[in-house]
Chains A and B, each alone.
Chain A
């Protein structure tokens, strides 16, 4: 059974940093591109970042470029999101998601999500 379990969220002050982790199991982690998707309270979904299966390529939405870093450790089957210079508008639930088998397929598995609140 595919499982994605996020951790590391919580309350953080504006301008500070936070690192999210996503532990994957039930599939061959290093065969899949992975992504982070966020959802502000009572709002829609926003793609944040994607990393290729081998970590060689990364992609970010404009609003997080230069502040967030997506990475992975295939030996540990774990995905990360380092979030620096956090802003109040980064407040959201962050989901780890697996990119489906084909590029245009979408995200076929999602974690339960972890809440990040940026506030003083």
Chain B
């Protein structure tokens, strides 16, 4: 199975700040990487697919980048509604595997 390692596990940032979350795959996943946002008590929502494609309706302050085994999610100008847990997921091979999640809180 492809292992997905996310960092950091938790993150505290101020409103308006820029934050970056990293995701490392155990092997090359050829940009088949998705990012999800899960707000407290809610189901996950797709933010980014194919490493850098913004899903419909997702604010442009979210962006994704990376290739090979290393990927990142950047949130510009942090808003209060961005408080969530963020997960990466590889869609290159079965089983589809997720990162352990990054809990983003406001400072």
Report if A106-B95 is in contact (Cβ < 8 Å); known contacts: A44-B101, A45-B87, A100-B49: no
Q: Assess whether B89 is in contact with A106, with CB atoms less than 8 Å apart.
A: yes
Assess whether A59 is interfacial by the CB under 8 Å rule. yes
**Known interface pairs A45-B44, A45-B87, A95-B44; A106-B34 also in contact (CB < 8 Å):** yes
Q: What is the interface of chain B mostly: helix, strand, loop, or mixed?
A: loop
Q: How large is the interface on B (under 10, 10 to 19, 20 to 34, 35 or more residues)?
A: 20 to 34
Report Cα–Cα, A111/B55, bound state, in Å.
17
User: In the bound complex, what is the Cα–Cα distance between A109 and B55 (angstroms)?
Assistant: 11
Cα A120 to Cα B81 in complex, Å, equals 39
Is B12 interfacial (CB-CB < 8 Å)? Answer: no
Of A44, A104, A113, the contact of B92 (CB 8 Å cutoff): A104
Chain B window 87-107, contacts with chain A (Cβ cutoff 8 Å), 1 for yes, 0 for no: 101011011111111000000
**Please, how many angstroms separate the alpha-carbon atoms of A104 and B25 in the complex?**
15
**Cross-chain contact B43 with A47 (CB below 8 angstroms):** no
Find residues 73-98 in chain A having any chain B CB closer than 8 Å to their own CB.
95
Residues of B within 8 A of A44 (CB): 87, 98-101
Q: Which of B55, B89, B95, B99 has the most CB of A within 10 A?
A: B95
